[in-house]
Amino acid sequence: MPTYVDPNKCDGCGKCVDICPSDIMHLSNSIFSGRKAYNIEPNYCWECYSCVKECPQHAIDMRGYADFAPLDHKLTVLRDEEKNEVRWKLKYRDGSKNEFKFPIRTKAWGSIPSPQSQKVPTKEQFDSQFLSHEPEYLKTDQGLVTAKR
C-alpha cells in the first residue's frame, strides 16, 4: 500500500524525506502551494510506513489494496505518543469505519542508534555469509530457538 501526501496538511518540514529508506519522498517548492512533500514513485515504496509514523502533521495516508479494503476508502494512521500507540483508521466508501490500535515499541522514539553510529564491519565480516551484526543482534550464538512441547 504505497503512501501519498495530503498537501493541505503538509507543512514541508521534510521529516518524511529524511526517514524514507527508498528516497522517494521529495519536496516540491511551487510558487502556488509552497514547500510540500510528495511521493515521486509509489511503485518503489517499501510500504514501511516510517514516513507515515514520522509525519508530525499526519499528512501521509496510504492507498490500500483492494483485498484490504474496496476502492474509494480512506486509510489514515495516527501516532499518539502520549498514549504510546499507533492507530490505523479505515473509512469505507459506505461511510462505515474500522480502527486498529497497536502499542508503540517500548524503546523511546528516536532512541535507536542509526546505522552510521555502528561499528564499520571488517573485510572478513563483509565477506562472510553472516548478516550485518550477526550473531550479536540476532543472538544466534546462543543457539537457535526450538519449539517446546
- 77 sits near ligand SF4 (criterion: CB under 6 A): no
Asked if 46 is an active-site residue, the reply is: yes
Choose the stretch contacting ligand SF4; rule: CB under 6 A; options: 17-25, 77-85, 87-95, 133-141. 17-25
Strands (E), 17-138: 25-30, 34-39, 60-62, 74-80, 85-91, 97-103
- Give the burial class of 4: count Cβ atoms within 10 A of its Cβ; 0-12 exposed, 13-18 middle, 19 or more buried: middle
Q: Which is nearer to ligand SF4, 51 or 69 (CB)?
A: 51
Q: Which of 2, 65, 1, 5 is nearest to 36 (CA)?
A: 5
- 12 sits near ligand SF4 (criterion: CB under 6 A): yes
Bridge partner residues of 37 (DSSP): 27
- 76 sits near ligand SF4 (criterion: CB under 6 A): no
User: Which chain residues interact with ligand SF4 by CB under 6 A?
Assistant: 3, 5, 10-16, 19-22, 24-25, 37, 39, 45-51, 54-55, 57, 59-60
